[in-house]
Amino acid sequence: SQTIHQWPATLVQPVGSPLSLECTVEGTSNPNLYWYRQAAGRGLQLLFYSVGIGQISSEVPQNLSASRPQDRQFILSSKKLLLSDSGFYLCAWSEPGQGVYEQYFGPGTRLTVT
């Protein structure tokens, strides 16, 4: 069966520090991968998605970047965090291709920038 992992679960970082959040998926090949951010009490905002290694699409201009160095690994990064980067970050995957598929979410990382 497929599983998705995210770490760390929580993170407190000072303004201006770098960020690296990691997401890995097991039990599937060539998944579509997604990074979302959820502000407190709000819905999810799609940040990045990837259909393959090295293929990253950005949905909104921001202080963050994403990379996919391996088929089932998706990394969210920042060189210098801003206060506004605080939030709940969720990674998700879906089956490859252009069919109609649900997305499977990881447990999330709660980031607080101080």
Partner 1 sequence: SQQGEEDPQALSIQEGENATMNCSYKTSINNLQWYRQNSGRGLVHLILIRSNEREKHSGRLRVTLDTSKKSSSLLITASRAADTASYFCAAQRGAPDKLIFGTGTRLQVFP
What is the contact surface with partner 1 in residues (CB under 8 A)? 32, 34, 36, 42-46, 49, 51, 59, 88, 90, 92, 94, 97-108, 110
Q: How far is the CB of 45 from partner 1 (least distance, A)?
A: 7
Contact predicate 68/33, CB 8 Å: yes
Closest to partner 1 by CB, 5 vs 79, is: 5
Residue 95: name the closest of 14, 25, 45 by CA. Answer: 25
Q: How far is the CB of 42 from partner 1 (least distance, A)?
A: 6
Closest to partner 1 by CB, 15 vs 39, is: 39
8 burial via Cβ count (<10 Å: 0-12, 13-18, 19+): exposed
Q: How far is the CB of 58 from partner 1 (least distance, A)?
A: 12
Length of the chain: 114
Paired with 24 in beta bridges are 5, 73
